[in-house]
C-alpha cells in the first residue's frame, strides 16, 4: 500500500479559496480523495494560533479528520504588518518525511515550494502532488509537481461561508 504524507498550508488554502470562490475548502472531501487506498504516514495542518473560539473549533475539526494541527503564533509587527507563515516548517517536515513515504501531498499555491517539490522528486524519488486554486497557484510550483490538482467544486464546502 502506498504511504502518503499530507501537508496543508491552512492560511494559503483559506485565502485562495475565499478569494476565487468565496467559499471554504472541504477538508473531509480532500481527505477522502487523497487517502483512498493509501496508508497515511503523516498528516499535518499548519495554522496560525489565535485565541479565538471559532479557530479552536476549526482546529478540533481538523484533528477529528485525522490531521495533527501545528500552530505558530500570530505576530503583529509595530508597523501594523503581520507575520505567520509556515514555509520553513512545511519544508523541514517534507524533507524529513520524503525518506519514509511514496507520495507527498501539499495543499498550497505558494511558489516558494517549487524547489521543495523538485528536491523531493529528484533526490528522494517520491511523487509530489500539489492541490491549489489554479488561478492563484504559482506556475513554477505546478510545473515542479508530479501532479497538480486544481481545487474545484468537489473540494469546496457548499454555499457561501464567511
The model's pLDDT over 85-124, given as tens digits with 9 standing for 90+, comes to 799 999 999 999 999 999 999 999 999 999 999 999 999 9
Cβ 110 vs Cβ 12: under 8 Å: yes
Reported confidence tier of residue 78, pLDDT bands at 50, 70, 90: low
- CA dist 21 → 3, 30, 86, 130 (Å): 31, 16, 24, 19
Q: What pLDDT does 160 receive? A: 58
Whether residue 8 contacts residue 35, with contact meaning beta carbons closer than 8 Å, is answered with: no
Q: Residue 58's closest CA among 15, 22, 26, 93?
A: 26
Tell whether the model's pLDDT for residue 50 goes beyond 90. Answer: no
Residue 33 — φ and ψ, nearest 5°?
A: -65, -45
pLDDT at 5 (0 to 100): 98
Grouping H, G, I as helix, E, B as strand and the rest as coil, residue 34 is helix
Amino acid at each position: 500500500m502506498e504511504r502518503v504524507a499530507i501537508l496543508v498550508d491552512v492560511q494559503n488554502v483559506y485565502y485562495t479559496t475565499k478569494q476565487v470562490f468565496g467559499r471554504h475548502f472541504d477538508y473531509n472531501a480532500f481527505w477522502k480523495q487523497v487517502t483512498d487506498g493509501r496508508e497515511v504516514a503523516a498528516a499535518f495542518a499548519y495554522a496560525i494560533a489565535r485565541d479565538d473560539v471559532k479557530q479552536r473549533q476549526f482546529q478540533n475539526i481538523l484533528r477529528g479528520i485525522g490531521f495533527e494541527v501545528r500552530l505558530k503564533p500570530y505576530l503583529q509587527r509595530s508597523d501594523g504588518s503581520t507575520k505567520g507563515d509556515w514555509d520553513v516548517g512545511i519544508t523541514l517536515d517534507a524533507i524529513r518525511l520524503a525518506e519514509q513515504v511514496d507520495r507527498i501531498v501539499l495543499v498550497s499555491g505558494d511558489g516558494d515550494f517549487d524547489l521543495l517539490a523538485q528536491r523531493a522528486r529528484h533526490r528522494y524519488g517520491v511523487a509530489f502532488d500539489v492541490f491549489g486554486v489554479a488561478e492563484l497557484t504559482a506556475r513554477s510550483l505546478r510545473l515542479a509537481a508530479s501532479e497538480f490538482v486544481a481545487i474545484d467544486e468537489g473540494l469546496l464546502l457548499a454555499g457561501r461561508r464567511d
